[in-house]
Chains A and B, each alone.
Chain A
């Protein structure tokens, strides 16, 4: 499969402190790639670097064959990259319906948008019960669902997810990951997933990168990584 997202020799820094360097990373079209690593390994920074958000980025970044290095965040997003950042990027003072409308802000195909709205309400029926509610008053799990639904309204080709399981009850996490699998299988949306919960990530992903202090230390199919003795001991605890 061709790489939808391709990073070559990418470095990213906050001011003078460099967080990632010499990073090569690819996400296959229609594939699910997971980034694993301890806190501070640079996983979130990689997602921010892809969207040129808050970090200073150098190196080659291409999306669907197009070089996006140096592009503005909003222009990168418009190519079809739905980003669910850490902190979820929810408009807490706006209603659920308004959040979802904003997700489709760049789209002009009204009929299709309406159809997609029905679809995300189908994925997350709980959001439909709360259309007129202020997003800030939703529970953590509902907010995460809203964030993913908001990103899906862009009709993305690639979904960037920053720890979607963070702080959520196990049942809610299961539900969210079930939806993610469906989105990937049904619509062919590629996913780049950052996750602390290695078990979850290895189950969902096809392809895994292991990061340590800003560098890739291991990369391969999820099954092979999961079977690796040292990985099991370091990340899975058995």
Chain B
């Protein structure tokens, strides 16, 4: 029973990471109807920024904050400089741009930081650990919950958050109340970048840092976003936690650790076949 509880809780901890990444994906999807395949790589790069700063002698939390700032600004810049040029372009062109971005960021990271696997520090002291969860896992859960709460409060209770929701829902009406829709989209990209960076920095002590560290996590993030409903931020969060638990339990008792990643693919296929809108999403009907 103890072993099962341990698997469950540590699945929940991983699930927080998937939830954050899924939330970042959903934030961009809601505003642009595109899946940002480069989300994981942006996050990985920000984690490297944090590591470089820590190695240069900065304190963990100072490096953390600067890395988040970097993630925000670079996300914003990617939208302003690159993505907005493909507004209204065919879906496949946009997908190719995202894939290109993936490989460019990945290669630049490899070139700058090498492909060597490195350890990443955790800021949480060992005393925090308990019988079921390590100190880092507990800290990770707290951090992701805090991130999600902050994002929620921002979108729900601030005028800027309201304007961003409006711009995502109805760009034309938003312009008619004076909202600068282009900047709202860029801001959304920046925020998604920062949320993704939290996920990568929290995941790095567990999976170690290397340029391909986010590939598996991104796959779980996709599964989480699809399971929860790609157009529902709450769904993405719950989907993330569910995927974390399913992955861990299945890895421990059903398919074994080697086949864990395929669980994500199974979830994606099952959701797409049986319930394409996800658990909490709503089907999108398009008039043709």
Contact = CB atoms under 8 A, between A and B. Distances in A.
Nearest to A104: B177
Interface in A75-118: 77-78, 83, 85, 89-94, 98, 101-103, 105-106
A78 B180 CA distance: 11
B169 A150 contact: no
Chain B contact residues: helix, strand, loop or mixed? helix
Residues of A in contact with B, size category? 20 to 34
B177 A150 contact: yes
A13 to B, nearest CB: 18
Contacts of A94: 162, 165-166, 169
Interface string B175-206: 11111110000000000000000000000000
A154 interface: yes
Contacts of B178: 74, 77-78, 105-106, 154
Interface in B43-80: none
23 contacts: A51-B176, A72-B175, A74-B175, A74-B180, A77-B175, A77-B176, A77-B178, A78-B178, A83-B176, A85-B173, A89-B170, A89-B172, A89-B176, A91-B169, A91-B170, A93-B169, A101-B162, A102-B163, A102-B174, A102-B177, A106-B177, A150-B177, A154-B178
Nearest to A73: B175
A109 B162 CA distance: 18
Given A74-B180, A74-B181, A102 B166 contact: yes
A53 interface: yes
B166 A74 contact: no
B159 A101 contact: yes
Contacts of B174: 102
Contacts of A102: 162-163, 166, 174, 177, 179
